[in-house]
Amino acid sequence: GRQLIEPGDFTVAELESIFELADQIIADPGAAMDLAKGKLMASLFYEPSTRTRFSFESAMMRLGGRVFGFDDPNTSSVSKGETLMDTAKIISCYADLAVIRHPREGTARLFAQSVPGMPVINAGDGGHEHPTQTLTDLLTIRHLLGSCSGHTVGVCGDLLFGRTIHSLVKTLNRYPDNRFIFISPKELRMPEYFLSMLPEGSYVETDSLDDVIGDVDILYMSRVQRERFVNEEEYIRLKDVYILDRHKMKRAKDDMIVMHPLPRVNEIATEVDDDPRAVYFKQAKFGMYVRMALISKLLGVAK
Ligand code: CP
């Protein structure tokens, strides 16, 4: 079975074909109603989630499929010491497709390698990758800005630990003419290894959101993630370093968009939510449609 563990597992042409299918589903959701009828999806969340889990589960149900999983991973036999590899083999006896989120990097790949015949989707593995968030983000950009090329993208917040950010930047770099402005405190800069993979001249770094907010077509905000910090004091010092509010938005272009994978903590004031440029709730809805398209492709049921 085809598996999606990181966005690089799919070619740009394959990504585009998922977006085209998502477009068709958005235009006519009724036509997709029975695509996954009789199929079962295992929903394995070893780390908290609202959007990813429920958008996957609602996507499967909207396709006419069914879902099982656990509400608390401690109620599975992992708590008795069962390995992830064995868990994967067992799940493959029962489900047609598995979605897995886990706090440890590399877990989704390990799970997928244990069941090569089964479609497996990484729903986020520690600080590593979150490929379906990237699909969500790109579908949002395509819909609202016309294409995924030729944008100046401000990426703001936790660039060190942000798996969402890493997957997004890598993927937008596969489309032509995107430029990045990385906005972070020095403690949360993009990792050196990551910067070294980017084309020369494709990015600049700054610690000032005010200085660059007027230059961006997309402002991608992110949460400083408490769960990734070893030192609580450092988290407290950095958590509110960027707060996007109505005052800051006055300096932004009229046709720019503000994105955020959510959940947010303080980094976007709720007063910004009514600004037509704030698209993060729309983005979460695009997440369901793109997952409907992805599930249909991986199950081989897309028309
Ligand atoms: N964007 C995202 O992954 O949200 P959840 O952690 O709520 O799934």
How far apart (Å, rounded) are the C-alpha atoms in residues 188 and 206? 11
- The pLDDT > 70 percentage for the chain reads 99
Structural domain boundaries in the chain: 7-129+284-299, 131-280
Pairing of strands 97-102, 120-125: parallel
Q: Which residues pair with 4 in a beta bridge?
A: 121
Q: What pLDDT was estimated at residue 298?
A: 98
Please state the atom number of ligand 1 nearest to the C-alpha of residue 50: 7
Extract the annotated binding site for L-aspartate: 80, 163, 223
pLDDT above 80 for 134: yes
pLDDT, tens only, 194-237: 999 999 899 999 999 999 999 999 999 998 877 766 788 877 87
Mutate to test the pocket of ligand 1, among 50, 128, 282 (most ligand atoms within 8 A of CB): 50
Q: Is 130 a catalytic residue?
A: yes
Distance 99 CA to ligand 1 centre (A): 14
pLDDT above 80 for 6: yes
Distance 284 CA to ligand 1 centre (A): 9
Of 173, 129, 166, 182, the closest CA to residue 151 belongs to 173
pLDDT band at 183 (very low <50, low <70, confident <90, very high): very high
Angle (CA) 108 48 112, round 5°: 10
Q: Is 52 a catalytic residue?
A: yes
Asked whether this chain's domains 7-129+284-299 and 131-280 adopt the same fold, the reply is yes
Mutate to test the pocket of ligand 1, among 140, 262, 280 (most ligand atoms within 8 A of CB): 262
Q: What pLDDT was estimated at residue 1?
A: 77
Q: Is 186 a catalytic residue?
A: no
pLDDT, tens only, 43-52: 999 999 999 9
Q: Annotated catalytic residue: which of 130, 142, 166, 179?
A: 130
pLDDT band at 192 (very low <50, low <70, confident <90, very high): very high
Asked whether the beta carbons of 104 and 125 are under 8 A apart, the reply is yes
Asked whether the beta carbons of 54 and 60 are under 8 A apart, the reply is no
The hierarchical CATH code for the domain 131-280 is: 3.40.50.1370
**Site residues for ligand 1, CB cut-off 6 Å:** 49-53, 124, 133, 261-263
Q: Annotated catalytic residue: which of 53, 62, 101, 142?
A: 101
CATH topology of domain 7-129+284-299: Rossmann fold (3.40.50)
Q: What pLDDT was estimated at residue 106?
A: 95
The pTM assigned to this predicted structure is 0.94
Mutate to test the pocket of ligand 1, among 43, 44, 49 (most ligand atoms within 8 A of CB): 49
Q: Is 206 a catalytic residue?
A: no
Q: Is 51 a catalytic residue?
A: yes
pLDDT band at 78 (very low <50, low <70, confident <90, very high): confident
